[in-house]
């Protein structure tokens, strides 16, 4: 204003020096962090290389051997491919079913859990931390752990995978849902409360309509993730396309045409569901409906 | 006016009817779907297939252990072993304090239950029932039992089995065996051959040297680390390997995806064809999925953390490439122009005009993936063989070391929660504390 802060030669030397020192220190910290990061990455790769059964340098030459074998064999028996695709399609349906059911069940649990763990909406405000920690633990357990234990008890099949994925989904979606709930307006809830609505009615009529599009969008994203998870769990014995893949792989050479068909089905399913759900999510978030 | 109102009312009615239908149709559709799946997954048959005995064994074994006191009736040799394992066997001539050796072996099962081995003859005093006498002979097992036996005794010509709340006794011609159950994880800190077994914490910290060759703390740490039953050292390495896989995979993917994302972003791509091609590459990497990458890579590199890291790296290069290029498409061009107006070269323009804008988005996504990949690395380890995932599947395949399985599960959950916490902490620090990204 009246008194210029900056002198004719670009500021008082004091301030400029101070600024330069700060900048230099910041650069040094940045450089240091970068150097540490680079060292970590390099030593990490060396270590991983050491503890791996096969070396990276030997392996990299063979990376394309297996895909080439699979493609070669599939090409040789190209006439069998449609038959294989048809044969393994029910397994794919089972995998998708596992993903869909576990997403549904998980999302329903997540809905309840998230409402119970959101400040301002919770039925039992004192239990909010308990529900939150519960969701943290559900989220932290990898699906494979629950699946393996349940396979031991219940035998192989889709149910262990479904329960395992549903537990994880409930934890993961519960956290996201409760973040959505925090932004919900409390006015409808208060309005409903003033006319004597029960907690379930308040939630169902006051909160859910506000948050449903966001819920749906997150649940669709989860569904994409769960298809992949359900294929992986099949590989450890929980049925579906992963199980078929494991069998085809263990037959080894001569059956790679089946593996190729399964790869194709899995890849196609993942891409297709990604596209569909991406499209739906776009419509939900950019106001397909008011 | 009234016509217009009537029209409006009609419309509102239709809208309401539609919503009401939807409100019932959606739950009905979900229920119908669940009912279909109920049949398809054969849930009613689940009850028959479920192995409840497995569940009980698993649950009991995960918090308790048993000590076997076994007598070989052909040689007369007595062995006392925790969980019946070689690594948990008491050296000959030593025994826990509830077993007294001598001419007769007296095993106190607690609560008045006492089993005595006198040569081949066995005597089990069950409070409220009386003594059970048994002797293995050439013609099977002879006992003093007759008539109607309670459900906890099973007797056949060659085998007597008694299961009480205190323990179990089995007598056959070749072998007499008693199990006593204890709560806890057996020998979790030190095995029997370690001098520190059974020593109190204060003795180890402040007492006299238990092993003259080593200071107590060093010795205790060494014996704990190399505990042959629980293999704490190996488990720690496995956890580290799993975290390493996640770290290398995530960070490597981010480093590779960042430059590629520029080629795939609408406002930076030099060629439209290149942009289109790059996007398809990302879609392909993502679509093939970690499972298939893991299988393909493990064929080339064998099991181990490198395979897992590369599988994560490939999948996530696709995910990151897509997300980063979307973030790049949303950058504000004004900052870049501003930097350009000072005469900055292209590299400087990217460094100071673009990177600071996308750093927060980028970092938060990378850190989120780091946590999620720790879980993926566990799963990949279980498939290819590496890290804690491998240990978990190995322990499960033996179907008896359930206490180890529960130990690993606890460690995995702690590991993931720690990574979750760490990534959240870093995210808060880096993004709020350094929003400029310089």
**Whole-number pLDDT of residue A1:** 44
pLDDT at A163 over 90: yes
Same domain for B253 and B123, yes or no, is no
Q: What percent of chain A stands above pLDDT 70?
A: 94
A125 token code pair: 């405000």
- Which has the higher per-residue pLDDT, A211 or B59? A211
- pLDDT at site A105: 94
Residues A193 and A59 occupy one common structural domain = no
The mean pLDDT value for A108-122 works out to 91
Residue B241 has pLDDT above 60, yes or no: yes
Claim to verify: residue B343 and residue B357 sit in the same structural domain: yes
- Cα A123 to Cα A76, A128, A203, A204: the distances in Å are 63, 9, 10, 13
Kindly report the average pLDDT of chain A as a whole number: 86
Instruction: Out of A65, A148, A155, name the one closest to residue B393 (CB).
Output: A148
Which residue of chain B is at minimal alpha-carbon distance from A266?
B288
Total number of domains in chain A: 2
Cα-based distances in Å from B101 to A83, B74, B105, B111, B119: 71, 19, 5, 20, 12
Which residue among A67, A140, A149 places its CB closest to the CB of B296?
A: A67
Asked whether residue A177 falls in the same domain as residue A278, the answer is yes
Using CB atoms, which residue from A101, A142, A235 is nearest to B291? A235
- The arithmetic mean of pLDDT across residues A241-250, rounded, is 86
Q: Which residues of A touch B426 (CB under 8 A)?
A: none
Provide mean pLDDT across the span B16-36: 88
The domain that contains A185 carries what CATH number?
Answer: 1.10.3720.10
pLDDT given for residue B432 in this prediction: 66
pLDDT at site A11: 57
Average pLDDT over residues A221-242: 88
Q: Are residues B313 and B193 in the same domain?
A: no
- For residues B260 and B372, state if they share a domain: yes
Which residue bears the tokens 């919900």?
A: A184
Instruction: Report the distance separating Cα B123 and Cα B118, nearest Å.
Output: 8
Q: In which band, very low, low, confident or very high, does the pLDDT at A9 lie, cut at 50, 70 and 90?
A: low
Q: Are B207 and B216 in contact (CB under 8 A)?
A: yes
| Cα–Cα dist B124/B160, whole Å | 12
**Which positions 164-183 of A are in contact with B (Cβ < 8 Å)?**
none
Q: Find the CATH number of the domain harbouring B419.
A: 1.10.3720.10
Quick check: is A271 in a domain?
Answer: yes
Res. B45: pLDDT tops 70: yes
Quick one: closest CA in B to A68, which residue?
B296
- Residue B143's domain comprises 67-183
Length of chain B: 438
Distance from C-alpha of B194 to C-alpha of B221, rounded to nearest angstrom = 11
Question: Chain B partners of A149 at a C-beta cutoff of 8 Å?
Answer: 58, 396, 405
Best residue in A54, A57, A90, A264 for a mutation probing chain B (most B CBs within 10 Å): A54
Quote the pLDDT of residue B418: 92
Domain co-membership, A150 together with A245: yes
Quick check: B175 and B73 in contact, CB under 8 A? Answer: yes
Residue B256 has pLDDT above 90, yes or no: yes
Q: What is the mean pLDDT of residues A57-79?
A: 81
DSSP B173: S
Q: ipTM strictly over 0.95?
A: no
DSSP string, chain A: --S-SS-TTTS-HHHHHHHHHHHHHHHHHHHHHHHHHHHHHHHHHHHHHHHSSS-HHHHHHHTTHHHHHHHHHHHHTGGGHHHHHHHHHHHHHHHHHHHHHHHHHHHHHHHHHHHHTSTTT-SSGGGHHHHHHHHHHHHHS-HHHHHHHHHHHH-SSHHHHHHHHHHHHHHHHHHHHHHHHHTS-SHHHHHHHHTT--HHHIIIIIIHHHHHHHHHHHHHHHHHHHHHHHHHHIIIII-SHHHHHHHHHHH-TT-HHHHHHHHHHHHHHHHHHHHHHHHHHHHHHTTS--
Give the residue-averaged pLDDT of B158-165. Answer: 83
Q: How many domains does chain B have?
A: 3
In a domain, B1, yes or no: no
Same domain for B283 and B404, yes or no, is yes
In this structure, the answer to whether residues B263 and B373 fall within a common structural domain is: yes
Enclosing domain of residue A270: 70-285
H-helix segments, B265-401: 272-301, 305-329, 333-341, 346-349, 355-380, 387-398
Residue A290 placed within a domain: no
**Where does the pLDDT of residue B435 fall: very low under 50, low under 70, confident under 90, or very high at 90 and above?**
very low
Mean pLDDT (whole number) for B330-344: 86
In a domain, B170, yes or no: yes
């Amino acid at each position: 204003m009246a008194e210029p802060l900056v002198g004719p030669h670009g500021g008082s030397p004091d301030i400029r020096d101070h600024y330069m020192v700060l900048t230099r220190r910041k650069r040094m910290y940045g450089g240091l962090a970068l150097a540490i990061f680079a060292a970590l990455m390099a030593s990490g790769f060396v270590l991983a290389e050491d503890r791996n059964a096969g070396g990276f340098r030997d392996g990299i030459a063979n990376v394309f051997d297996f895909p080439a074998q699979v493609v070669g064999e599939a090409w040789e028996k190209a006439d069998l491919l449609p038959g294989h695709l048809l044969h393994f399609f029910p397994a794919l349906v089972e995998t998708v079913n596992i993903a869909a059911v576990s997403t549904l069940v998980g999302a329903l649990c997540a809905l309840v859990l998230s409402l119970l763990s959101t400040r301002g909406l919770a039925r039992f405000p004192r239990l909010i931390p308990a529900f939150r920690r519960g969701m943290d633990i559900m989220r932290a357990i990898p699906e494979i752990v629950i699946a393996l234990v349940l396979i031991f008890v219940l035998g192989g099949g889709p149910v262990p995978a479904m329960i395992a994925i549903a537990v994880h989904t409930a934890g993961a979606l519960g956290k996201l849902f409760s973040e959505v709930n925090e932004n919900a307006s409390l006015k409808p809830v208060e309005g409903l409360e003033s006319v004597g609505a029960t907690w379930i009615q308040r939630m169902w009529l006051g909160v859910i309509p506000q948050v449903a599009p966001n819920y749906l969008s997150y649940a669709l994203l989860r569904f994409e993730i769960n298809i992949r998870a359900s294929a992986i769990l099949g590989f450890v014995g929980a049925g579906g396309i992963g199980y078929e893949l494991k069998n085809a792989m263990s037959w080894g050479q001569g059956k790679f045409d089946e593996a190729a068909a399964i790869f194709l089905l899995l890849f196609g399913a993942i891409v297709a569901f990604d596209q569909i759900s991406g499209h739906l999510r776009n419509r939900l978030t950019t106001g397909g409906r008011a | 006016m009234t016509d217009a109102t009537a029209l409006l009312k009609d419309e509102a009615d239709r809208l309401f009817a539609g919503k009401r239908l939807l409100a019932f149709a959606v739950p009905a559709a979900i229920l119908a779907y669940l009912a279909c799946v109920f049949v398809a997954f054969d849930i009613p048959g689940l009850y028959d297939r479920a192995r409840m005995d497995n569940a009980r064994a698993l649950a009991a074994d995960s918090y308790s252990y048993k000590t076997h006191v076994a007598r070989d009736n052909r040689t007369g040799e007595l062995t006392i072993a925790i969980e019946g394992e070689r690594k948990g066997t008491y050296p000959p001539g030593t025994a826990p304090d509830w077993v007294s050796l001598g001419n007769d072996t007296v095993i106190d099962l607690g609560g008045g239950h006492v089993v005595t081995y006198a040569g081949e003859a066995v005597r089990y005093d069950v409070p409220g029932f009386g003594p059970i006498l048994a002797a293995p002979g050439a013609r099977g097992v002879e006992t003093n039992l007759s008539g109607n036996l309670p459900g906890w005794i099973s007797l056949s010509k060659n085998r007597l089995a008694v299961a009480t709340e205190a323990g179990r006794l089995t007598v056959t011609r070749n072998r007499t065996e008693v199990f006593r159950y204890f709560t806890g994880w057996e020998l979790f800190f030190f095995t029997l051959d370690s001098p520190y077994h059974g020593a109190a914490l204060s003795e180890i910290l402040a007492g006299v040297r238990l092993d003259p060759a080593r200071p107590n703390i060093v010795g205790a740490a060494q014996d704990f680390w190399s505990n042959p039953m629980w293999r704490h050292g190996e488990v720690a390495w496995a956890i580290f390997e799993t975290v390493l896989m996640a770290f290398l995979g995530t960070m490597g993917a981010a480093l590779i995806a960042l430059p590629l994302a520029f080629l795939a972003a609408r406002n930076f791509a030099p060629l439209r064809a290149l942009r289109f091609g790059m996007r398809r590459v990302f879609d392909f990497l993502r679509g093939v999925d970690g499972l298939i990458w893991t299988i393909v890579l493990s064929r080339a590199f064998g099991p181990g953390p490198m395979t897992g890291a590369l599988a994560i790296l490939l999948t996530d290069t696709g995910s990151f490439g897509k997300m980063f290029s979307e973030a790049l498409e949303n950058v504000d061009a004004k900052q870049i122009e501003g930097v350009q107006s000072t005469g900055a070269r292209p590299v400087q323009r990217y460094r100071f005009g673009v990177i600071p804008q996308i750093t927060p988005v980028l970092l938060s996504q990378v850190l989120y993936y780091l946590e999620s990949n720790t879980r993926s690395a566990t799963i990949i380890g279980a498939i290819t063989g590496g890290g804690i995932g491998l240990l978990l599947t190995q322990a499960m395949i033996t179907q008896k070391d359930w206490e180890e399985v529960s130990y690993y599960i606890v460690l995995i959950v702690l590991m993931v929660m720690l990574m979750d916490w760490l990534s959240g902490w870093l995210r808060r620090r880096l993004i709020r504390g350094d929003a400029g990204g310089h």
